[in-house]
């Protein structure tokens, strides 16, 4: 059981870190960013980060979290709220994918405000989830 929790926490660290970094990488890869600096090898960085790091980490975090939930047989109100917030975090992950596709389709379209919003929502959700898990307020 401790190894399962360790796997869950490690996957969460990678996933949450990627979710906080991705909006900035996506905004930087658009043509409205700082000139041509990000248009050479950096073009594929955001997509690679999304497909090779963030998505597998999300899947491992969700699968291992589900296994921890089933092994502990815990059912409390704080856990239901936490799972709801995790669903919202998955929506932030999907929003990063949509923004990535939007930038790849049209580099001239501004995405800075949307990327900032996704990053702020993800940060708020991560903080709320950490508060719920560590405090178990109800």
3-state secondary structure at position 116: helix
Q: How confident is the model at residue 42 (pLDDT cuts 50, 70, 90)?
A: low
Contacts of 61 (CB under 8 A, 6+ apart): 8, 11, 12, 14, 15
pTM of the model: 0.87
**Domain boundaries of the chain, sorted by first residue:** 2-135
pLDDT at 104: 87
3-state secondary structure at position 11: helix
Q: What is the pLDDT of residues 64-123, one digit of tens each?
A: 999 998 998 888 999 999 999 999 999 999 999 999 999 988 878 889 999 999 999 999
Both tokens assigned to 91: 């929506």
pLDDT at 39: 55
Q: Tell me how far the alpha carbon of residue 83 is from its chain's centroid.
A: 15
pLDDT at 1: 84
pLDDT at 107: 78
Mean pLDDT over residues 35-53, rounded? 75
Is pLDDT above 60 for 40? no
Written as one string, the DSSP assignment of 59-99 is: HHHHHHHHHHHHHHT---HHHHHHHHHHHHHHHHHHHHHHH
Q: How confident is the model at residue 133 (pLDDT cuts 50, 70, 90)?
A: very high
- Interior angle at CA 124, CA 121 and CA 127, nearest 5: 150
Q: CA dist 118 to 27, 79, 91, Å?
A: 11, 24, 10
């Amino acid at each position: 059981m401790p190894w399962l929790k360790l796997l869950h926490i490690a996957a969460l660290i990678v996933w949450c870190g990627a979710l906080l970094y991705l909006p900035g990488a996506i905004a930087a890869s658009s043509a409205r960013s700082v000139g041509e600096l990000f248009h050479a090898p950096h073009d594929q960085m955001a997509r690679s980060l999304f497909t090779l790091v963030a998505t597998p980490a999300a899947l491992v975090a969700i699968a291992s979290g589900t296994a921890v939930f089933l092994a502990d047989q815990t059912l409390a109100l704080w856990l239901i709220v936490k799972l709801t917030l995790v669903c919202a975090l998955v929506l932030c992950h999907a929003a990063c994918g949509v923004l990535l596709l939007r930038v790849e389709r049209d580099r001239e379209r501004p995405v800075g405000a949307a990327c900032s919003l996704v990053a702020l929502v993800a940060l708020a959700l991560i903080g709320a989830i950490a508060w719920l898990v560590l405090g178990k307020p109800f």
